Amino acid sequence: MDYSRKISERLWNMPDKGELESRREETFIDDIIQKSHIEKELLSHLDEIKTVFDGGAGCGRFSILLAKKGCAVTHFDISQPMIDKAKELAAKEGVLDKITFVNGALEDLKGFKDKSFDMVISFDAPVSYTYPNQKRVIGELVRICRKRIMLSVSSRLGYLPYLANPIQKNQFILDETCEDPFVKWCIGNKENAVEAFHFSKDAAMKLYKDGLMGGESEIAEYENGGTPWCITYTFMPDELEDILKYYGAKNIKLAGPGAYARTLPRELLVKIMNDSKQRSDFLDFCHYYDSNPFVCGMGKDNLFAQGEL
Ligand SMILES: C[S@@+](CC[C@H](N)C(=O)[O-])C[C@H]1O[C@@H](n2cnc3c(N)ncnc32)[C@H](O)[C@@H]1O
């Protein structure tokens, strides 16, 4: 089995993963913007959609939303802790019976027939964690889709700025006093990260050229019993578009949720996000601006694409 899949299986099956991931979306402004963008796209594209496959569905941010809108959803994920958390949240929302939960890997979708689902979605980078099978996996997602596909994957143009700014996530912390362990780590580690930082043109050029984050050191860590972050394949926008076209998707639209917000300093983002009227107007305008394909792919996991079959 490929290392990416083995590493993903170990990482995402850590017992607290479901609980931690389910809280992240309210803590970081870039995640809130990403979620808002995807929700707006989903809710405005539900014509003729009764059945949905959500690949790498996590704790159900989108599968539960679609079930609440009346869709029959297959919630597919490699991680049992994520599925368990999603079941708990679906039960709270009263939609447990609208969702079929399946534990499986995107690398193996043989069990699903061609055009099984009206819509196929996969958000926040699950496809990027299937390296070196990412192209074939997209082909399989298209194959099982009847009408509409929406994906968001790791973006190469969005990842590259992290190589010159490892503290970038700090800009998006909504509440610096919150108890979230990742927020605490970002704040506590900020000075160290700056001190230890050294810009490497070689690392940036390598990522620009081969698109790969992680590799041999992650494999070695895995073999030593550790839990490294997934080996991640980052896409260029035109590459993602070409793959979707190659498998037969048409009318492809690309977007970059978070691009507009990245132009603003944290003080102003926090001010906007803490005022409900400004927040709602801002999220509307972000969606509009970030849907312009000329800004697509800014933000690490924010290369968004949709197409029709
Ligand atoms: C960042 S989370 C995104 C969850 C969800 N799509 C969302 O947007 O809230 C990535 C999810 O992909 C799942 N995943 C990672 N690799 C996978 C694979 N090869 N097959 C299926 N699921 C995978 C993880 O378990 C995790 O739940």
* Residue range 54-78, pLDDT digits in tens: 999 999 999 999 999 999 999 999 9
How many domains are there within the chain?
1
121 Cβ inside 6 Å of ligand 1: no
Q: What is the C-alpha to C-alpha distance for residues 268 and 298, in angstroms, rounded to an integer?
A: 19
pLDDT-based confidence at residue 1 (cuts at 50, 70, 90): low
Centre of ligand 1 to C-alpha 195, Å, is: 33
Find all residues with CB under 8 Å of 166, minimum gap 6, and list them: 193, 197
79 Cβ inside 6 Å of ligand 1: yes
Question: What does residue 6 show for φ and ψ, rounded to 5 degrees?
Answer: -65, -40
Per the structure, the complete domain to which residue 294 belongs is given by 3-308
Centre of ligand 1 to C-alpha 91, Å, is: 20
- Report the run of H or E that residue 42 belongs to, with start and end: helix 29-43
User: In this prediction, what percent of the chain has a pLDDT beyond 90?
Assistant: 81
- Over residues 46-50, mean pLDDT: 96
106 Cβ inside 6 Å of ligand 1: yes
303 Cβ inside 6 Å of ligand 1: no
Centre of ligand 1 to C-alpha 95, Å, is: 21
- Over residues 131-140, mean pLDDT: 97
Give the distance from CA 270 to its chain's centroid. 23
Tokens of residue 270, six digits: 């926090």
Centre of ligand 1 to C-alpha 54, Å, is: 10
pLDDT in tens, 66-122: 999 999 999 999 999 999 999 999 999 999 999 999 999 999 999 999 999 999 999
Residue 207 is part of a domain; what is its CATH number? 3.40.50.150
Tokens of residue 214, six digits: 């992680």
- Over residues 166-187, mean pLDDT: 91
18 Cβ inside 6 Å of ligand 1: no
pTM of the predicted model as reported, rounded to 2 decimal places = 0.95
Q: What is the C-alpha to C-alpha distance for residues 241 and 249, in angstroms, rounded to an integer?
A: 9
Nearest to 134 by CA among 248, 4, 237: 4
233 Cβ inside 6 Å of ligand 1: no
261 has a pLDDT exceeding 90 = yes
- Provide the β-strand partners of residue 207: none
152 Cβ inside 6 Å of ligand 1: no
pLDDT at residue 215 in the model: 83
Using CA of residue 284, residue 286, residue 291, residue 294, what is the dihedral sign?
positive
129 Cβ inside 6 Å of ligand 1: yes
- Provide the β-strand partners of residue 121: 54, 150
| Residue owning the nearest CA to atom 13 of ligand 1 | 56
Q: What is the C-alpha to C-alpha distance for residues 102 and 77, in angstroms, rounded to an integer?
A: 7
Q: What is the C-alpha to C-alpha distance for residues 80 and 58, in angstroms, rounded to an integer?
A: 9
pLDDT in tens, 2-45: 888 888 888 888 888 877 777 777 789 999 999 999 999 999 99
- Provide the β-strand partners of residue 250: 308
The pLDDT mean for the chain works out to 94
